[in-house]
Amino acid sequence: MIALENVSKTYGVHAALWPTTLEIEQGRTTVLIGPSGCGKSTLLRMIVGLIHSDSGRVVIGDEVLHPDNIERLRHGIGYVIQEGGLFPHLTAGRNVALLARFLKHGEDWIAGRMTALANLVRIPVELLQRFPRDLSGGQRQRIGLMRALMLDPPVLLLDEPLGALDPITRYGLQDELKAIFGALGKTVVLVTHDMNEAAFFGDTIVMMREGRIVQRGRLDDLLHRPAEEYVRDFIRAQRTTLPTP
């Protein structure tokens, strides 16, 4: 269970996040959605301790996030950003195995785990020899996912994971990601500004605006029982004018 209790963040006079409380459902997918600067990434990054809250606390499992336990808790969280955030000086395979090697897992275990993950994200094993610059955007994203899943963490955080991909790659990866989330039963928090993506992934959707949570609920709640006019506007703004073939 992940809980953000009364967390907030202010830069100078600008409030990136007003005091906010949010519980993340275990084993389900929660989507944080809103326009740029609404605080959704700030909230996600607080969970993995990249941003320190000015107030309140972050609870992961039964522990309060703290400098003393942060590295151990991070080992239980997979974090994926746009383009995967791969280290350019390491091959794809070394990126994936980096943390496992540092934690002294056996090479046999690492090799077995990498093969299984390559199958899961549908990456040919040969590609693991390549450097990130020699991979396509979609491949980098899959490698980034492998790296996040290497130690089989119970929690997976994704910050606009499909944002930089072309529409076809994105479409295909959406299907695959959803299948992976369903199969692994992880607690997933995904940040996006795309309502279709939120509707596709989200068991729970948390809509944000200007550093506050506007509404938290199922897709159905947002569509039919919007908390305020803004929710209706945001959903309407993402209409499609194309007929579905």
Partner 1 sequence: MMLRLITLLLLPALCLAEPVLNVGSKRFTESYILGEIIAQTVNAAGEARAVHKQGLGNTGIVFAALRSGAIDVYPEYTGTIAFELLGRKTPAGLEEIGRELAPLGLGVAVPLGFDNTYALAMREERAAALGISSISDLSRHADLRPGISQEFLNRKDGWPALQQAYRLPFPAPRGLDHGLAYEALTSGQVDVIDIYTTDAKIGKYHLRALADDRGFFPAYNAVLIYRLDLPQRFPGSWAALQQLQGRISTQRMIALNAEVELSGMSFAAAAGQFLAAPETAPGRAARHDRASFAAMLFGADLGRLTLQHLLLVFASLALSVAAGIPFGIWASRSSRAAYWILASVGVLQTIPSLALLAFLITLMGTIGTAPAIIALFLYALLPIVRNTHSGLVDIAMPLRESAQALGLPAAARLRLIELPLAARSILAGIKTSAVINVGTATIAAFIGAGGYGERIVAGLAVNDNAMLLAGAVPAAALALLIQWAFDALERRVIPEGLR
Contact status: 132 vs partner 1 (CB under 8 A): yes
Nearest to residue 191, comparing CAs of 80, 49, 26, 25? Answer: 80
Q: Where are the alpha helices (DSSP H) in the chain?
A: 40-47, 70-74, 92-102, 107-120, 137-149, 167-184, 195-201, 219-224, 229-236
Give the total of residues touching partner 1 (CB under 8 A): 29
DSSP 193-210: S-HHHHHHH-SEEEEEET
The distance of closest approach from Cβ of residue 89 to partner 1 in the complex, given in angstroms and rounded to an integer, is 4
Say if CB 185 and CB 27 are below 8 A apart. yes
| CB nearer partner 1, residue 45 or residue 113 | 45
| CB nearer partner 1, residue 17 or residue 158 | 158
Residue 54, judged by CB atoms within 10 A of its CB (0-12, 13-18, 19+), counts as: middle
**Residue 3: which H helix or E strand, with range?**
strand 2-11
Contact status: 88 vs partner 1 (CB under 8 A): yes
Query: Who's near 1: CB < 8 A, 6+ residues apart?
Result: 23, 24, 26, 59, 61
The distance of closest approach from Cβ of residue 138 to partner 1 in the complex, given in angstroms and rounded to an integer, is 18
Contact status: 184 vs partner 1 (CB under 8 A): no
Sign of the CA dihedral running 10, 205, 80, 114: positive
Which residue in the set 32, 48, 128, 235 belongs to the binding site for partner 1 (CB under 8 A)? 48
Contact status: 85 vs partner 1 (CB under 8 A): yes
Contact status: 79 vs partner 1 (CB under 8 A): yes
Q: Which stretch binds partner 1 (CB under 8 A): 26-34, 71-79, 105-113, 237-245?
A: 71-79
Nearest to residue 81, comparing CAs of 174, 173, 32, 144? Answer: 144
Amino acid, single-letter form, for residue 101: R
Positions 96 through 125 that interact with partner 1 (CB under 8 A)? 98-99, 102
Contact status: 72 vs partner 1 (CB under 8 A): yes
Contact status: 245 vs partner 1 (CB under 8 A): no
| CB nearer partner 1, residue 73 or residue 117 | 73
The distance of closest approach from Cβ of residue 73 to partner 1 in the complex, given in angstroms and rounded to an integer, is 8
**Which residues lie near partner 1 (CB under 8 A)?**
45, 48-50, 70-75, 77, 79, 81-83, 85-91, 98-99, 102, 131-133, 147
